[in-house]
């Protein structure tokens, strides 16, 4: 029941919004629907927390033996919680942004939420693919209709690039379908992988590469990332928030659900290659982040570095590392949301995102500064913020992992980004918030109350998880252990 | 069972409350109320610390677990506090000296507006909270929380006057350099977890776990931890942030950059003493780096003219001595020096603050002189501080420094000779500073002279208290050769270092030798002081620039310039290169794929020409190809 509600609420709201022309009504409805989704999700994690409520399994396309199968295990709960928690914050946090045809904007936003939730719950490959595209397409329209100056070229690239990845994923899924004896069920995929010791076969390698490509583009993994900074820059801020806070997690989730347990032998065999790309990408993105003048591009590259660590911890696996990835998927989502909200507030007020044009904001907007500083500290994973827990467990997992002979080198090289992260983050704080006021920032106003509220919620979440991470860690402990068990081969 | 130890969480709790109150209510609190919250919470922590000290003195120690922080597999990292001899001693220093500095700040910062006044005290309380976590943590992870927390507060307080870009840069530099060290610390933690699956002190230092570690493990772990220490405690090569950190308000320099935070590295190594004892190679490195830092910083201090910069380099140098002590196995001596240094260096910084306050923000000692007439209390207490740091027999610095140097002598006489040379330089630059500031004629403007005044009681009371401690604080560690069984501090700390003591070869130095060394060095120090006094008490301003070697020292051996050239600029250049590569390399290939597809489809479109003849031709070619494949595959 919970999965069905989670899909239907945003889906119906999204479709209905196309008919409602009044801007504020549309916005309010979208906001209330997102709150309702959150309520359902929270109910699913508390009073309805049992198999009967959390799974849904019905016939879908009989001829293909594909089923409407949703399941909310710990990992799905975590990501659905992230999604349903983020949407109200995104809608309320950008309340002051004005859009032409606002009802369509919010309609697409809600459709995208339906797609995302479907992705995180599907236990059937075809269904997964269906929602994967459903989540993407509304975002494409959001960007191409409401985006920045270069939106057409950028969204075209974004769409073609990610769609290409999706197509390869579809081919891989079909190959797996035959391999699993004409079944799209995730459980059958996994069972086949565990029983057929098909390690090293070229077919498995092909499947691995195609799935990997799809997820690598989505996260993104270096060197498949170049669509991302442009797209983040050109997409309207609410869209960027969805893209980076939630959609990037689709790739990581995809790895953990649909790649690692499904093609474990190839994962093991090519783990070092992917891990190397991840580490190179982390350093690469950190160095580039240090050079960025546009706030959105800075956050975009910083995000590539952070996601890189998750990929590393998946391909140099250990229990600690996987648990770190789990909790970090959630943390990264809300932290980057906080960063975007600050960026959005700045852009709304000054009409620019250029670091070099700003300065001295702290003198006039102390509340915004304090909230930003806490979010930024989480971005550099200072202890007692949520990101420290995730990064600590991931680094610890990588260094202690027995899966790769290079684990120490990976951990040390990736560790350098801890230093580089501090460099670019503090540089940004200093240039934008400290120093003297200039002509542009002379009349800075304190950020609006609703942004303060949303950022405060994020700050509280950052600190609560950072001080007492246990509930989130417990939520995913079983799933992490299962994934790890399926990984250990040879 | 209701021991005061169970309430140890109150010690960090009070400053946390102070931070929250001052931080959240900063717009509505009056300055006196802010001051009362700021100082009162630290005083409350001090009272609890004293009670804890008494409890520990009576032989009770313990661990208090608050909740489970991170756990996975069989590893559990609790949020828990360790109360033992070492941590209580640090508690007393942090809350005791901390309280005095908070009190001092109420007067020193009075020019700030209410809101910024509250912000200042909020940061200061947050600092004390973090520092208390650092020393109370019963495992390396909780220690690390405090470790990075104090780094953050240091960043916030150095950049307290955030309008000033220079200050902001100094703050950033401090944070980044600390982060480099922190990475070392973290890697050491991961190494420990990988090898023995625990970071709790009680378990790590347990014989069963120590036996699981190889000689290499010991070296790697201790080296990595030491990298952390060089960042936090400003040792070569990561010391250059500390002098720049003087951009912060002077009480901050006294508390964070002299008395407490910078001694975190010494605390951490003293805490891990058994690991270091098992890694002789690291011990040597620690001793050499410590000694080298002590000497390098002392030479720079000889030529500085900013009153705070002299003290900053002096701090770096004294920290070097502490590491020398740790490196030669004199753990007690190093901790002893942390304590006496906290007294006299806090005193000197606060004295300097009083001078700066009296001189209306003048920091250049070339523009001072003759201040003893105007600021009697400041003058007298500052003099006591100078005597203590110089190591005049009877004052606190004498005992702690002597203990370190004696242990260095036992290890290798060369270490002693170099260490003693550093001590002579210390005496020289301190009395150069003293004489130029307080003796001779006033060299400032008439305006300044007219306003010269002794500072208010909130400033002089801490000075007097610290002066008393600087003068007599050393008496709790009188060496064996002077009085039998008079080293109370050594006896108190003995349980913490028991394992290391048992493993170290006992090196007794002949008592006569010790008398001669201590006496000889003291005599030389007195001569050097007389020299500095006579030369600088009649100092006259000259326009001449220092030439030759003096210039090198004045410019701090050009180390900052070197770092900028070797690390700073190449890093930026590399970043720019990567950005170009991203745009014109990787993205170009991606777009290239797109372009070639478009190109190919444009070409392919031409085949659809609409002429039946060409279609037939293509069909024939296709059939031939298919036929060829068929034949080829049959073979």
Instruction: State residue B634's pLDDT score.
Output: 67
For residue A89, is it within any domain? no
- For A165, the token pair is 């990845």
Q: What are phi and psi of A176, to 5 degrees?
A: -65, -35
- Residue A148: what are its φ and ψ, rounded to 5°? -80, -170
- Kindly list the residues from chain B whose CB atom is less than 8 angstroms away from the CB atom of residue A412: 187
Q: What is the pLDDT of residue A60?
A: 82
Looking at chain B, which residue has its C-alpha nearest residue A410? Answer: B187
Judgement on whether residues B484 and B521 belong to the same structural domain of the protein: yes
A149 occurs within a structural domain: no
Q: Cβ contact (<8 Å) for A422 and B189?
A: no
Question: How confident is the model over B420-431, as a mean pLDDT?
Answer: 94
Instruction: Quickly state the pLDDT bin for B635 (edges 50, 70, 90).
Output: low
Same-domain check for residues B86 and B209: no
Could you say which DSSP state residue B64 is in?
E
The least confident of A460-464, B1-5, B204-208 is B1-5
What DSSP line would sit under A327-386, residue for residue? HHHHHHHHHHHHHHHHHHHHHHHHS--BGGG---HHHH-HHHHHHHHHHHHHHTT-TTSH
> Which residues contact residue A266 at a Cβ distance below 8 angstroms, ignoring those fewer than 6 apart?
A199, A200, A204, A205, A207, A208
- Put simply, the answer to whether B163 touches A418 (Cβ < 8 Å) is no
Task: Single out the residue of A160, A116, A120, A118 nearest to residue A140, CA to CA.
Answer: A160
Question: Alpha-carbon distance B184 to A415, whole Å?
Answer: 9
In the stretch 107-126 of chain B, residues with CB closer than 8 A to chain A read 115
CB–CB of B256/B315 below 8 Å?
no
In a domain, A175, yes or no: no
* Rg of chain B, C-alpha, whole Å: 30
Give yes or no: residues B475 and B572 share one domain. no
Chain A partners of B168 at a C-beta cutoff of 8 Å?
430, 434-435
Q: Lowest-confidence range among A464-468, B333-337, B622-626? A: B622-626
The pLDDT value given to residue A439? 85
Q: CA B622, CA B163: separation in Å to the nearest integer?
A: 75
pLDDT of residue B119: 92
Instruction: Check CB contact of B571 with chain A, cutoff 8 Å.
Output: yes
Best CA proximity match to B3, nearest among B59, B85, B43, B68: B59
- Of B436, B309, B427, the closest CA to residue B371 belongs to B436
Provide the number of structural domains found in chain B: 3
Selecting from A160, A419, A435 the residue whose C-beta is nearest the C-beta of B180 gives A419
How far apart (Å, rounded) are the C-alpha atoms in residues A189 and A193? 6
- What is the model's pLDDT at position A31? 94
Helix (H, G, I), strand (E, B) or coil at A70: strand
User: Residues B354, B417: one domain?
Assistant: yes
**When comparing pLDDT for A464 and B618, which is higher?**
A464
CA B611 to chain centre: 83
- A411 and B187: CB-CB below 8 Å? yes
Helix (H) / strand (E) element for A59: namely: strand A55-61
Nearest to B345 by CA among B316, B295, B311, B391: B311
Identify which of A226, A415, A419 has the shortest CB distance to residue B587: A226
Question: Helices then strands (H, E): number in chain B?
Answer: 28, 2
Pick B168's closest partner by Cβ from A226, A382, A434. Answer: A434
| Residue A429: both structure tokens together | 């704080």
pLDDT band at A459 (very low <50, low <70, confident <90, very high): very high
Instruction: Output the pLDDT for position A474.
Output: 92
Distance (Å, rounded) from C-alpha A459 to C-alpha A453?
A: 10
* Average pLDDT for B253-278: 93
Residue B106's domain comprises 1-138
Residue A22 pLDDT level (bands cut at 50, 70, 90): confident
Both B496 and B597 in one domain: the answer is no
Evaluate the CA torsion angle A281, A287, A291, A295 in order and state its sign. positive
Distance CA A35, CA A76 (A): 19
pLDDT of residue A490: 43
Q: What is the 3 state secondary structure string of A160-222?
A: HHHHHHHHHHHHHHHHHHHHCCCCCEHHHHHHHHHHCCCCCCHHHHHHHHHHHHHHHHHCCCC
- Tokens 């990064």 sit at which residue? A391
- What's residue B301's pLDDT? 92
The answer to whether residues B244 and B318 belong to one domain is yes
The residue ranking higher by pLDDT, B580 or A202, is B580
Instruction: Answer yes or no: do B475 and B617 share one domain.
Output: no
Q: Are residues B344 and B492 both part of a single domain?
A: yes
Residue pair A440/A352 in contact (Cβ under 8 Å)? The answer is yes
Domain match, B350 and B314 both? yes
Give the C-alpha separation, B572 to B569, whole Å.
5
pLDDT of A264 = 87
When pLDDT is cut at 50, 70 and 90, the band that residue B225 belongs to is very high
Q: Does B172 touch chain A (CB under 8 A)?
A: yes
CA distance A368 to chain B (A): 14
Q: Of B415, B427, B391, B154, which Cα lies nearest the Cα of B301?
A: B427
Rounded to whole angstroms, the Cα distance separating A80 from A249 reads 11
CA–CA min distance B345, chain A (Å): 30
Residue B149 lies in a domain: no
Q: Which residues of B touch A395 (CB under 8 A)?
A: 186, 190
- SS3 category, B616: helix
When pLDDT is averaged across residues B314-343 and rounded to a whole number, the result is: 95
Predicted local confidence at residue A200, as pLDDT: 63
How do residues B442-478 score in pLDDT, each as one tens digit? 888 888 888 888 888 999 999 999 999 999 998 988 8
Pair of tokens at residue B116: 């910024």
B70 CB within 8 Å of a chain A CB = yes
Does residue B576 sit at the A interface (CB-CB below 8 Å)? yes
**Judgement on whether residues B412 and B461 belong to the same structural domain of the protein:** yes
| B193–A396 CB contact, under 8 Å | yes
The minimum CA-CA distance between A412 and chain B, rounded to whole Å, is 8
Chain A residues with CB under 8 Å of B73 CB are: 319-320
Mean pLDDT of A292-300: 92
Q: Phi first, then psi: what are they for B541, rounded to 5°?
A: -65, 135
Percent of chain B with pLDDT over 90: 61
Task: Please judge whether A395 and B186 are an interchain contact, meaning their C-beta atoms are less than 8 angstroms apart.
Answer: yes
Q: Which residues contact B548 (CB under 8 A, 6 or more apart)?
A: none
| B180–A160 CB contact, under 8 Å | no
CB contact under 8 A, B165 and A434: yes
If asked whether residues B183 and B258 sit together in one domain, one would say yes
Interface of B with A in 180-209 (CB under 8 A): 180, 182-183, 186-187, 189-191, 193-194
User: Residue A284: which of B75, B180, B578 has the nearest Cβ?
Assistant: B578
| Number of residues in chain B | 635
**B75 Cβ under 8 Å from any chain A Cβ:** yes
**Mean pLDDT score, B321-325:** 95
Say yes or no for a CB contact (<8 Å) between B72 and A323.
Answer: yes
Instruction: Average the pLDDT over B67-92 and give the result.
Output: 93
Best of A157, A217, A226, A405 to mutate (most B CBs within 10 Å, chain B): A226
B602, B604, B611, B625 from B615: Cα distances, Å? 18, 13, 7, 15
Closest CB to B175 among A160, A416, A426? A426
Check B148 against A383: CB less than 8 A apart: yes
Mean pLDDT, all residues of chain A = 90
CB-CB: which of A223, A415, A430 is closest to B183? A415
Contact yes or no for B68 and A384 at CB 8 A: no
Residue A344 forms part of a structural domain: yes
pLDDT of A206-231, one tens digit each?
A: 999 999 999 999 999 988 998 888 88
The verdict on residue B630 lying in a domain is: yes
A17 part of a folded domain: no
Q: Of A103-112, A298-307, B359-368, B423-432, where does mean pLDDT reach its minimum?
A: B359-368
Examine residue B15 and state whether it is found in any structural domain, yes or no.
yes
pLDDT class of A488 with cuts at 50, 70, 90: low
pLDDT at site B41? 96
Q: Is the pLDDT of residue B200 over 90?
A: yes
Residue B549 placed within a domain = no
pLDDT at B257 over 70: yes
B508 exposure class (CB count in 10 Å sphere: 0-12, 13-18, 19+): exposed
Residue ranges in B197-306 assigned as alpha helix (H): 201-204, 207-210, 215-232, 241-244, 250-254, 264-271, 273-277, 280-301
Say what angle helices A366-379 and A386-400 make with each other, to 10 degrees: 10
Q: Which of A163-172, A321-330, B265-274, B438-447 has the lowest mean pLDDT?
A: B438-447
Q: What is the pLDDT of residue B365?
A: 87
pLDDT score of B543 = 63
Structure tokens, B41: 């919470």
CB-CB: which of B164, B175, B194 is closest to A400?
Answer: B194
The Cα B23–Cα B19 span in angstroms is 6
- Tell me: the pLDDT tens digits for B91-143? 999 999 999 999 999 999 988 888 899 999 999 999 999 999 999 999 999 99
| Domain termination residue (choose one: B138, B162, B195) | B138
Mean pLDDT, rounded, for A375-402: 93
The token duo for B487 is: 């080293």
Mean pLDDT score, A42-58: 87
The answer as to whether B160 is a domain residue is no
* Token pair for B557: 């051996």
Domain range holding A462? 269-490
Contact residues on chain B for A399, CB-CB shorter than 8 A: 187, 190-191, 194
Please answer yes or no on whether B183 and A227 come within 8 Å at the CB atom. Answer: no
Nearest residue to A445 via CA among A456, A437, A457: A437
pLDDT higher than 60, residue A489: no
Cross-chain Cβ contact B590/A423 below 8 Å: no
Nearest-neighbour CA in chain A from B586: distance (Å):
7
Select the residue of A290, A392, A415 nearest B70 (Cβ to Cβ). A392
Count of domains for chain A: 1
The token duo for B263 is 């001694």
User: ipTM, 2 decimals?
Assistant: 0.92
């Amino acid at each position: 029941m919970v999965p069905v509600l989670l899909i239907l609420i945003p889906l119906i709201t999204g479709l209905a919004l196309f008919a409602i022309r009044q801007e504020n009504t549309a916005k309010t409805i979208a906001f209330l629907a997102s709150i309702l989704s959150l309520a359902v999700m929270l109910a699913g994690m508390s009073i309805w927390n049992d198999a009967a409520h959390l799974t849904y399994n019905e016939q879908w396309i009989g001829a293909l033996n594909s089923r409407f199968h949703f399941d909310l295990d710990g990992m799905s709960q975590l990501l659905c919680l992230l999604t349903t928690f983020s949407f109200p914050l995104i809608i309320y946090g950008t309340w002051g942004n004005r859009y032409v045809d606002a009802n369509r904007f919010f309609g697409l936003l809600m459709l995208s939420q339906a797609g995302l939730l479907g992705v995180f719950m599907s236990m059937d490959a075809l269904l997964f693919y269906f929602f994967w595209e459903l989540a993407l397409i509304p975002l494409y329209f959001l960007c191409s209709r409401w985006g920045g100056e270069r939106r057409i070229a950028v969204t075209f690239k974004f769409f073609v690039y990610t769609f290409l990845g999706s197509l390869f994923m579809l081919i891989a899924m079909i190959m797996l379908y035959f391999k699993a004896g004409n079944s799209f069920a995730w459980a059958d995929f996994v069972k086949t992988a565990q029983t057929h010791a098909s390690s090293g076969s070229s077919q498995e390698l092909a499947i691995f590469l195609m799935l990997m490509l799809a997820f690598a583009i989505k996260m993104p993994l270096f060197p498949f990332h170049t669509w991302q900074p442009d797209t983040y820059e050109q997409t309207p801020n609410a869209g960027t928030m969805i893209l980076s806070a939630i959609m990037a997690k689709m790739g990581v989730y995809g790895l953990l659900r649909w790649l690692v347990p499904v093609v474990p032998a190839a994962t093991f065999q090519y783990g070092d290659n992917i891990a190397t790309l991840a580490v190179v990408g982390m350093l690469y993105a950190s160095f580039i982040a240090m050079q960025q003048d546009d706030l959105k591009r800075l956050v975009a590259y910083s995000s590539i570095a952070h996601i890189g660590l998750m990929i590393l911890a998946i391909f140099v696996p250990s229990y600690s590392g996987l648990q770190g990835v789990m909790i970090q998927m959630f943390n990264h989502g809300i932290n980057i949301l906080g960063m975007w909200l600050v960026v959005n507030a700045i852009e709304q007020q000054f009409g620019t995102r250029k670091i070099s044009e700003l300065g001295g904001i702290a003198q006039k907007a102390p509340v915004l500064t304090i909230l930003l500083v806490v979010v930024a500290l989480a971005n550099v994973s200072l202890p007692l913020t949520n990101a420290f827990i995730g990064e600590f467990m991931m680094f610890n997992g990588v260094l202690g992992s027995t899966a790769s002979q290079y684990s120490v080198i990976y951990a040390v090289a990736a560790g350098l980004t801890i230093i580089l992260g501090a460099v670019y983050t503090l540089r940004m704080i200093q240039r934008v918030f400290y120093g003297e006021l200039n002509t542009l920032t002379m009349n800075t106003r304190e950020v609006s109350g609703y942004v303060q509220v949303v950022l405060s919620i994020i700050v509280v979440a950052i600190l609560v998880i950072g001080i007492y991470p246990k509930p989130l860690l417990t939520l995913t402990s079983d799933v992490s252990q299962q994934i790890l068990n399926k990984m250990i081969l040879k | 069972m209701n021991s005061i130890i169970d309430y140890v969480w109150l010690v960090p709790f009070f400053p946390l409350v102070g931070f929250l109150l001052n931080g959240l209510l900063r717009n509505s609190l009056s300055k006196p109320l802010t001051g009362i919250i700021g100082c009162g919470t630290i005083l409350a922590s001090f009272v609890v610390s004293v009670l804890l000290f008494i409890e520990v003195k009576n032989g009770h120690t313990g661990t208090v677990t608050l909740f489970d922080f991170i756990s996975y597999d069989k590893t559990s990292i609790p949020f828990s506090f360790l109360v033992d001899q070492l941590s209580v001693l640090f508690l007393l220093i942090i809350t005791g000296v901390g309280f005095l500095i908070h009190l001092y700040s109420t007067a020193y910062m009075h020019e700030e507006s209410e809101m910024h006044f509250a912000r200042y005290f909020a940061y200061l309380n947050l600092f004390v909270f973090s520092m208390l976590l650092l020393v109370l943590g019963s495992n390396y992870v909780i220690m690390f929380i405090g470790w990075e927390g104090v780094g953050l507060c240091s960043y916030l307080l150095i950049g307290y006057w955030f309008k000033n870009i220079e200050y902001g840069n100094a703050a950033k530099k401090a944070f980044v350099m600390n982060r480099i060290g922190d990475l070392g610390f973290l890697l050491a933690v991961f190494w420990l977890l990988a090898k023995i699956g625990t970071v709790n002190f009680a378990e790590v230092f347990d014989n069963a776990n120590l036996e699981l570690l190889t000689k290499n493990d010991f070296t790697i772990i201790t080296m990595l931890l030491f990298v952390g220490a060089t960042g936090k405690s400003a040792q070569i090569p990561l010391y250059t942030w500390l002098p720049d950190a003087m951009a912060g308000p002077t009480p901050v320099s006294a508390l964070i950059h002299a008395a407490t935070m910078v001694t975190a590295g010494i605390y951490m190594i003293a805490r891990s003493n058994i690991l270091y004892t098992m890694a002789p190679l690291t011990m040597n490195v620690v001793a050499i780096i410590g000694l080298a830092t002590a000497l390098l910083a002392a030479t720079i201090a000889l030529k500085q003219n900013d009153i705070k910069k002299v003290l900053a380099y002096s701090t770096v140098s004294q920290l070097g001595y502490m590491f020398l002590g740790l490196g030669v196995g004199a753990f007690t001596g190093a901790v002893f020096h942390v304590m006496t240094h906290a007294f006299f260096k806090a005193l000197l910084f606060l004295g300097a603050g009083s001078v700066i306050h009296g001189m209306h923000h003048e920091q250049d000692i070339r523009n001072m002189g003759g201040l003893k007439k105007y600021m009697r209390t400041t003058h007298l207490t500052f003099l006591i501080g100078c005597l203590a740091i110089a190591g005049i027999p009877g004052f606190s610095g004498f005992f702690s420094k002597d203990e370190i140097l004696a242990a260095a002598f036992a290890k290798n006489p060369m270490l002693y000779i170099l260490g003693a040379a550093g001590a002579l330089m210390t005496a020289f630059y301190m009395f150069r500073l003293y004489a130029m500031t307080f003796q001779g004629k006033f060299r400032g403007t008439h305006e300044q002279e007219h306003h010269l005044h002794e500072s208010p009681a909130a400033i002089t009371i801490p000075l007097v208290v610290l002066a008393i401690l600087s003068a007599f604080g050393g008496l709790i560690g009188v060496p064996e050769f002077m009085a039998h069984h008079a080293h109370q501090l050594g006896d108190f700390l003995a349980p913490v270092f028991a394992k290391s003591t048992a493993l170290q070869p006992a090196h007794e130095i002949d008592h006569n030798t010790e008398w001669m060394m201590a006496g000889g060095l003291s005599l030389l120090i007195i001569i050097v002081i007389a020299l500095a006094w006579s030369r600088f008490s009649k100092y006259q301003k000259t326009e001449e620039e220092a030439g030759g070697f003096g210039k090198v020292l004045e410019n701090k051996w050009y180390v900052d310039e070197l770092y900028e050239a070797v690390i700073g600029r190449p890093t930026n250049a590399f970043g720019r290169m990567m950005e170009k590569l991203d745009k014109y390399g990787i993205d170009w290939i991606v777009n290239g794929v797109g372009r070639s597809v478009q190109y190919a489809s444009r070409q392919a479109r031409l085949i659809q020409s609409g002429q039946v003849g060409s279609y037939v031709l293509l069909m024939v070619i296709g059939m031939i190809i298919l036929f060829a494949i068929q034949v080829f595959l049959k073979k």
